[in-house]
Structures are given as structure tokens and as C-alpha cells.
A = this chain, B = another copy of it.
Amino acid sequence: MPKKLFEVDLNKTMDQQTTPGHNRWHPDIPAVFSVDPGETFRMECLDWTDGQISNNDDPSDIKHVNLDRVHVLSGPVHVNGVEPGDLLVVDILDIGTFHSHEWGFNGIFAKENGGSFLVDHYPEAAKSIWDFEGIYATSRHVPNVKFAGIIHPGLIGVAPSQDMLNEWNRREKELVDTNPDRVPPLANLPTEHSAVLGNLKGEEFDRVAAEGARTVPPRENGGNCDIKNLSKGSRVYFPVFVDGAKLSVGDLHFSQGDGEITFCGGIEMPGWIDLQVHVIKNGMEKHRIQRNPAFKPGPVMPHYNEFLVFEGVSVNEFSGGQTYLDANVAYRNACLNAIEFLKTLGYTGEQAYMLLGTAPVQGTVAGVVDIPNACCTLALPKDIFYQNILPELD
């Protein structure tokens, strides 16, 4: 086992841990430890909500979740000798669950508190609990499916520079200002409420909390990309913006469908992740990996090869209005088409929706030039179902 360790106690919230992590992005959150290039270390993680969701049948906790608390992250880790302009190479060696906590949750956020991709179709909160049996997940709330998850960190990223942070805050505020009262909001701006910032205290805490970017969106530093294929064995190339890179990780998913369309989220869980780091000096210029991370997926993802694929095009499903190549509308329609089909198998709309949020469904940008309709597809793996789902010929 790696010697360096970020440890968590599942019975405590992140701010109460011996070494607390953080839930904001800021260059001045102190590192919890440092490592040398080539070194391996383990990060234990709480679930992204900091333990707000319980293993029961009542979605109230999803409905009333405190979203200012997310995502509680483990880190940051300082990598010795790494400087801005370098690429930090992070190998995800393994990911696992805690034996004392072999379940996870998925939920649809309520429109008033977070919302989701299909918020206008499914505005109410819902929850499903998923039990882990080794590599497989099943749910008492979504029956007759069982699948091997593609386990991954929903969120992994490095610290922004102060300039980059300022730019994030500028552009996100500008967006919110276009419609500040929107429900759900257009973006989450910095707030001291529920901020966790490692061991920072007093004025320094206040300053960093006031500026610290929320962890919800993916950005130039990686962050909450929710890429389901960033699984065991992947190698990630991060552009570096601060000395030591300051790597953090959290939001582990036992499984997730492309798009994480229910928002809360994939199958969310606490767990651990083993990482090894290397560096490519001046790699940002050398390989022009500058604006976002790039990665090589790992070799042990479950591979399915029979799918039923649903198409969607970019016509508004309520108004019948034509959009211009809007891939979001196209993917939304592909999801809605899949849900309609899943209803014929006996699922409720909410169950089907949560299945698309949790199972390893593939969301593809099929065509984005055929004016005026984008086409996106959602591929449902046949073998996750107990029954044969393919329509039979007459």
C-alpha cells in the first residue's frame, strides 16, 4: 500500500477530519502533503455531498441537500519540482470502495434545489440506492438490472492560478447576471457558506472562501468533468498553473452514464483511489495540452458490445421549435426517447431516468453540422438487463 495517505473517517464530515480537505478551488488552500515525481499515494474520499444522503427509501435528503457543501475533496497534494507550464501526469492505479460502506446513491435533484438535465420533465426529487457486490451493482429501487460499473473519480483537478481563478469568477458572474433569479441558477458563485478550506482559519479563511471557485463545473484545471471512462489504469495529463500543481480528487462514482444526467449524479460513494504522479517539464508548450487536461483511458473498463441506441435531434420537445444544431437538445431528446422505451419494460419514468444516470450508457455527438439539426445518440447496453430488451420481429 502507498505510504502517503489522505485518510477519512466516514463518521465525520470533511471539516471534522484530522486532516480536512476542501470544497472550493483556490491556489492558497494549503497542501496536505507533498510527493516526489514517481511516488504513489492513496487518497481516501468522502462522498461528494459530505455524507448528507442516507441508505433509505426517502428522497427528502436529496430534495433538501445543502449544495453549498459540495464537492468535498481530498487534497491538495503538492508535487515537488512541478511548476506552471509543466504537465502533471497522473496515473490512476486503482479505485475501490470501503468494505464498511458497500452502497452508493443516485438522485434526481428537485427543480428548486439544483435541477437536472431533464428538469422540466422530472422536476421532483427522487433517489435510488445501489448495492455493491464486488464489481456489480444492483438497486432495490431500479429492479431487473445488474451491471459492472466503470468506477471513476467524477472530479480530479489541479489548483488554478490566481489569475485563472479571477477569470472564472468574472465569467461566471457575468452569466449569472444575465438572469440572477433563475431556478435552477445559471451558475454557483463563491460563497463562504459551508466552505471547507483545509486548515485555513480566520482572515485567510475568509479571503479564500470569498474568492474560492465552486467545484461544480469542469474547467481548465480538469475538476468535475464527470468523465465515466476516466477509470482504473487511466493516465491524465494536467496543465499546471501553480507551483506543485496541487492535485485534489473526490466525487467517486461506482458507475455513471455519459452526461451524468440526473445531476446527483452517478452512483455516488465514498472510497479510495491510488495515484502515481510524474512530470513533463514544459509539457504544456511541448504538447500544446494547455487549455484542458487530456487522458489515456485504462484497460479494464467493462466492455459491452451489444447496444440498443436511441437517436435525438435538436427540435424542442415542448414547443416543436427548431434550434440551430443544439447538441444539448439533441441529447435530451435521445434520453427522452430511451426513457419512453424503458417504460415499455415496466419502469417508471423516474426509474428509467435514474438508470440512464447510473448505468454505463454511452452518449455520442453523432452529427453537429447538418443544419439545422444536431444528432446525438444514447446507447443502452443490452446485457445489463435481466430480460432481452430488443424488440422482436413479427
Contacts and interface: CB of A to CB of B under 8 A. Distances in A.
Given A294-B308, A367-B227, A300 B135 contact: yes
Contacts of A365: 258-259, 327, 331, 363-365, 376
Interface string A279-313: 11101001111111111111111111111111111
A260 B291 CA distance: 23
A278 B305 CA distance: 23
Interface stretch (A8-16, A24-32, A240-248, A318-326): A318-326
Contacts of A1: 99-100, 102
A393 B308 CA distance: 26
A309 B313 CA distance: 25
A276 B331 CA distance: 29
A337 interface: yes
A172 to B, nearest CB: 5
A312 B216 CA distance: 15
Interface in A74-109: 87, 89, 91-94, 96, 99-100, 102
B313 A219 contact: yes
A391 interface: yes
A338 to B, nearest CB: 8
B259 A366 contact: yes
Given A133-B276, A218-B311, A307-B296, A344 B288 contact: yes
Nearest to A367: B226
A150 to B, nearest CB: 9
